[in-house]
Amino acid sequence: MRKLRITLLAVLAVILGAFLQYTLPQHDVVRIVNTYQERQDLNDWTRIFWATPDNQAAELINRDVQFIQTVKKKSWLFGFIRRDAEGVMVYRNEDTGWSWPPYLKFDTASLQTEADDLRSTPEAPKWAVMTHYGWRNELLSTFPNAVAIRPIAGPDVTIIPWFNIFFFVFVIVAWLFLRAMWRQFRQRSIDPLLEKGEDAFDQVENSAERARGRIGRWLDSWRGPKKK
Amino acid sequence: MGLIRLVAFGFLVLSVMYLAISWYSRSVRREKLEESWLQDHPGDTESEARAAYIRDGMIKYESGLRKKLILLVYVIPIVAALALLFIINAY
C-alpha cells in the first residue's frame, strides 16, 4: 500500500514537472542561421504540440507555420549550467492568441522579422537570447515555440529567469494561503458539525441503552429471579 | 471567440477565488472578535452581550477597507494579463 502510494505520487510529480517544463518560459543563447515557412499537417494527436492561434486554425487540418533555424549553445539543467558545445535547434513561430499556454503572443510576423534581421554567419556571429516554451522532439516532429528574441553582445551572458522565480514564489504563497484557508474551514465549519454529530450520536446511544434497560427489566420480570 | 472564452473562464475562476477569500477573511475576523471578547470576559461564550459585540464587529467589517481590498482578486490578474500582452508583443 505504501509502495503504491509512493509510486502514484512519483508519477504525479513527473507529470506535473513535465507539464511545467513544457509550459514555462526558458532562455537559450542562439545564433540565427535561417528562417523558413512550411506547410504542416495537423490531423493527428501531435496536434497538441502546435498552437491554436484562432478559431479558424482549430478547424484547419493543415496550415503554414513559420520556423527559425538556429545554432544553440548547449546547456545542462534547464540552462543553468553553460556548456562549451554547440548544437542546432529549430523553433516554430506561432501565435498563441488567447488560448493555452497563456503567453498572449500575437506578434509572430514581427518576431519573424526580428529573427531575419539577426541572421549571421559562423565567421561573424551575432548572438541572441531566445525565449521559448515547448519541446523539440525529432521523432514526433515537435518544435519549441519562440516567444521573444533579444540581441546580446556575446554568448557569455547571465540570464536571470525572473518570470519563473516570480511564478514559483507565487505558487508557494498560494499554496500556504490555501492551506490556511482549508484549516480555517475545517476548524470553523466542519469540526463544529462533527461535534454536534457526536453529541447526537451519544444521545441516541443513551436513550437506546435506557430503552434496552426497560425492556430487559420487563423480560426479566417474566423469567423470574436470576439463579445464582 | 478565444477572448470570449478566456474572459468567461477567467471570470468564473476569479469569482470562485473571490468567494473563497471573502469567506476566509470574514471567518478570521469573527474568530478574532471572539478571542478579544474572551480575553476581556473570561469564561463567557454564550451571553447576549457577546453576540451583540460580534454582530457589531462584523457590521463594521462589512463596510471596512479590508473587504473592498478583496476585489483586487479581479484587478490584479487583469492588470497582469495586460502587462504580459504589452511586454510580449511590444518588444
Q: Which residue does chain A place closest to B88, by CA atoms? A: A105
Retrieve residue B3's grid coordinates: 477572448
- Number of domains forming the structure of chain B: 1
Q: Is A171 on the interface with B (CB under 8 A)?
A: no
Whole-number Å distance between alpha carbons of B88 and B91: 6
Q: Is B82 on the interface with A (CB under 8 A)?
A: no
Listed residue (A12, A66, A4) closest to A34, CA to CA: A66
Q: Which residue does chain A place closest to B2, by CA atoms? A: A98
CA A159-A77-A100 angle, to 5 degrees, is 75
Model confidence over B27-72: pLDDT tens digits?
A: 999 999 988 888 888 877 778 888 888 888 899 888 888 888 999 9
Q: Is A132 on the interface with B (CB under 8 A)?
A: no
Q: Are B56 and B29 in contact (CB under 8 A)?
A: no
Task: Tell me the DSSP string of A152-221.
Answer: -SSS------HHHHHHHHHHHHHHHHHHHHHHHHIIIIIHHHHHHHHHHHHHHHHHHHHHHHHHHHHHHH
Strand A145-151 with A62-76, pairing: unpaired
Domain containing residue B76: 2-90
Give the count of alpha carbons within 13 A of B31, CB side only.
12
- Surface-to-core class of residue A9, CB atoms within 10 Å of its CB (0-12 exposed, 13-18 middle, 19+ buried): exposed
Whole-number Å distance between alpha carbons of A153 and A136: 26
ipTM tops the 0.90 cut = no
Q: Select from A55, A105, A184 the Cβ nearest to the Cβ of B89.
A: A105
Contact A104 B85 (CB under 8 A): yes
Give me the residue label for grid cell 482549430. Answer: A58
The residues that bridge with A196 in the sheet, in sequence order, are none
What's chain A's average pLDDT? 87
pLDDT beyond 90 at B75: yes
Q: Is B65 on the interface with A (CB under 8 A)?
A: no
For residue A174, which residues of chain B lie inside 8 Å, CB to CB?
A: none
Whole-number Å distance between alpha carbons of A64 and A109: 13
Whole-number Å distance between alpha carbons of A80 and B42: 58
Q: Is A129 on the interface with B (CB under 8 A)?
A: no
For residue B23, which residues of chain A lie inside 8 Å, CB to CB?
A: 185
Q: How far is CA B27 from CA A106, B18, B53, in A?
A: 43, 14, 15
Whole-number Å distance between alpha carbons of A28 and B72: 35
User: Of the spans A35-39, A73-77, B45-49, which averages the highest pLDDT?
Assistant: A35-39
Q: Select from B2, B21, B27 the Cβ nearest to the Cβ of A99.
A: B2
Q: Are A96 and A105 in contact (CB under 8 A)?
A: yes
| Cβ atoms within 10 Å of A186's Cβ, excluding its own | 11
pLDDT beyond 90 at A79: no
Strands (E), chain B: none
Listed residue (A131, A111, A105) closest to A35, CA to CA: A111
Q: How confident is the model at residue A56 (pLDDT cuts 50, 70, 90)?
A: low
Q: How confident is the model at residue B77 (pLDDT cuts 50, 70, 90)?
A: very high
Q: Is B20 on the interface with A (CB under 8 A)?
A: yes
pLDDT of residue A193: 81
